[in-house]
Amino acid sequence: MNKMREVYSVSDSRAIGVFDSGLGGLTVVKELCRFLPNEDIVYFGDTGRVPYGTRSRETIRKYALQDENFLINKNVKLIIAACGTVSSVASDTASLLPVPFFEVVSHAARSAVKATKNGKIGVIGTAATVKSGEHERQIKALLPSAEVTAVGCSLFVPLVEEGWYSEDDVVVFETVKRYLKPIKENGCDTLILGCTHYPVLEKVIKKVLGDEVSLINAGTSTSQTVKEYLCENDMLNSKTDIGIHSFYVSDKADSFRAQASILLGEEIDETKVSQVDLGNL
C-alpha cells in the first residue's frame, strides 16, 4: 500500500464522492478508509427517499442523477455509487458525468468468480437489483458455467436502517434464515452481498450459512480499484493527516449520526452531518 504512495506523485486534494440511498454506503466508506486513509470523503445518503430497491428503473435513474449532481457541486474528483441498486440499473448515468465513476456490481462479480470453487454463486440484493439480472450477466461473462441463485431480500434494508442487525436477535436471525434458504439448498459456496446495506448483517449471514461460504463485500474490491486508479492517474491526496469525512443526508441528521457512528466505528459529531434538500439545489 505504502509502496504505491512512494512510486506515484500525489496531486489532487479534492474529496472522493460517495452516495447511497441511505446508510448502507457507509460499508463502502469503511473500506475506503482502510485503503485510502488520507483521502477526504463527501458522502450523500438519500435517507429521505430510501429505499430505492422497490422503485422503478426511471425513478432510480432520476434519483441517481440528482445524487451525482449534488456530489459534482461539492467538487469531488470521482464518484462511487455505493448502492447495489443504482449500480445495477442506473450505471449508464455515469456517461453524463465530468468525473470518473465507479459502481459496485462488476467488482463483486469478479471477486465471486475468483472465490468460488464449485461454480455455485449466490447473489442477494434488493428487488430491483435481482430483477435487473446484472450480477448474473457479469458472472456468466466471466464464468459461463456458473450456476447463479439470486434472491431479493426486501426486509434486510429496513432491518439495517432500524439498527436491527445483532446475530443474537431472534427476529433478525429468523428473517435472514428464511431469505437465505434457496442459497443454502442450492449449495452455493460463495455469496455476493449485492446491496451495500448487507455487510452490516454479515455476522448473522455467517451464522446462518456457516464459515465455509465466502461472503463477497463489493466495498472491498471497489475501494482497491479506486486506490489503483488514483495512484495510476496521480490523483492521490498528498496530505499525511487522516482524511476529513463530511456527510449529507436528505432526512434527519441526528438519527443518521447515531447509526453512522456505530457502523463506521468513529465518532461522528453534529458538525460533520448536514441535512440537505436535493430539490433546493
Is residue 153 part of the annotated active site? The answer reads no
Burial class (CB in 10 A: 0-12, 13-18, 19+), 9: exposed
Stretch that binds ligand DGL, among 110-118, 189-197, 203-211, 229-237 (CB under 6 A): 189-197
Tell me how far, at minimum, the Cβ of 75 lies from ligand DGL, in Å.
24
CB distance 194 to 138 below 8 Å: no
Interface with ligand DGL, residue 222, by CB under 6 A: no
Which residue lies nearer to ligand DGL by CB, 195 or 231?
195
Strand order in the sheet with 190-193: 147-152, 120-125, 190-193, 214-217
3-state secondary structure string, 99-165?
CCEECCHHHHHHHHHHHCCCCEEEEEECHHHHHHCHHHHHHHHHCCCCEEEEEECCCHHHHHHCCCC
Q: β-strand 41-45 against 245-249: which pairing, if any?
A: parallel
Count the site residues for ligand DGL by CB under 6 A.
16
Interface with ligand DGL, residue 129, by CB under 6 A: yes
Tell me how far, at minimum, the Cβ of 206 lies from ligand DGL, in Å.
19
Half-sphere exposure of 43 (CA within 13 A, CB side): 32
* Distance from C-alpha of 50 to C-alpha of 25, rounded to nearest angstrom: 12
**At residue 217, what are phi and psi to the nearest 5 degrees?**
-100, 110
CA angle in degrees (0–180, nearest 5) for 165-103-151: 50
Q: Which of 77, 120, 135, 197 binds ligand DGL (CB under 6 A)?
A: 197
Which residue lies nearer to ligand DGL by CB, 172 or 236?
172
> Which one from 33, 153, 188, 195 is the annotated catalytic residue?
195
> Which one from 33, 83, 153, 231 is the annotated catalytic residue?
83
Tell me how far, at minimum, the Cβ of 154 lies from ligand DGL, in Å.
8
CB distance 177 to 154 below 8 Å: no
Interface with ligand DGL, residue 109, by CB under 6 A: no
| Cα–Cα nearest to 226, from 42, 91, 101 | 101
Is residue 195 part of the annotated active site? The answer reads yes
Residue nearest to ligand DGL (CB): 53
Tell me how far, at minimum, the Cβ of 196 lies from ligand DGL, in Å.
4
Which residue lies nearer to ligand DGL by CB, 26 or 231?
26
Which residue lies nearer to ligand DGL by CB, 107 or 197?
197
CB distance 83 to 116 below 8 Å: no
Interface with ligand DGL, residue 195, by CB under 6 A: yes
Q: Which of 33, 50, 89, 201 binds ligand DGL (CB under 6 A)?
A: 50
Active site amino acids? 83, 195
Residues that bind ligand DGL (CB under 6 A): 20-21, 24, 50-53, 83-85, 126, 129, 157, 195-197
